[in-house]
Amino acid sequence: MIKMKKRLILILAPILLAGCLFFYDAKLDVYTNTGDGVLVFKDNEFHRGYETYQKYYTNGEKNFEIGRMIGKTDNSKFLGFKESVWQIKGVPDDEVVFVKGLMIEGVYERK
């Protein structure tokens, strides 16, 4: 009887975890990637460029701390390639955001 309960827990725990992560992912705000280094969220355009890079990076290293995840881009899939949008600590997230993905990393500033 105890072995059967352990098996049931080992089977149901990953299913429950995946379900919770799926609903968490579905609740995130979606930032639209229009290309050319531009993200759009609620009629606000966030741009990436050389000036922004100079402001937030020193010798190729980040000089800021990443806060909590606040959204995802429209390219993101639950299973597969994901680009997540993060808050930068000490800066309002409606002014500057940090996008991190498998092959991309950059700071986007509202213009």
Report the mean per-residue pLDDT for the chain: 86
Which pTM does this prediction carry? 0.77
Answer whether residue 13 shows pLDDT above 90.
Answer: yes
Under the banding of pLDDT at 50, 70 and 90, the label for residue 111 is: confident
Tell me the pairing of strands 57-58 and 96-101: unpaired
> pLDDT, tens digit, for every residue of 48-72?
888 888 888 988 888 999 999 898 8
| pLDDT at residue 79, as a whole number | 66
Answer whether residue 100 shows pLDDT above 70.
Answer: yes
- C-alpha distances in Å from residue 22, one per residue of 26, 32, 53, 64: 6, 20, 33, 29
Answer whether residue 33 shows pLDDT above 90.
Answer: no
CA distance linking residue 26 with residue 28, whole number of Å: 6
Phi first, then psi, for residue 31 (nearest 5°) are -95, 130
More confident residue, 81 or 101: 101
All structural domains of the chain with their residue ranges: 28-110
